[in-house]
Structure 1
């Protein structure tokens, strides 16, 4: 299947490193929920790249 975005509240670095590279090579974007590019684990937002800024903005409107 296909997805436009994925939000994960808790990841380890080994959960994030390889999929991040695949997403980025396909034109997508992966950051933490604050918008920082990281492979250290924690939380993550992965998108097709087009929706990334809008989703981050919505997530951080609290």
Structure 2
């Protein structure tokens, strides 16, 4: 009977796809943050900020 619960406390290893997706999101956040500081367009700053917020939300969910 105890064998049914043997794996209940073991964490599942996240798939490589999720790790790669998180790394790409972090790279995108850094890229857009630096680009927003370098480009002096009035439209690009808010657009980069929206991208960073969306990426952080998706990063937290994965």
Q: TM-score, normalised by structure 2?
A: 0.29
Larger Rg: 2
Q: Which has the higher strand share?
A: 1
Q: TM-score, normalised by structure 1?
A: 0.29
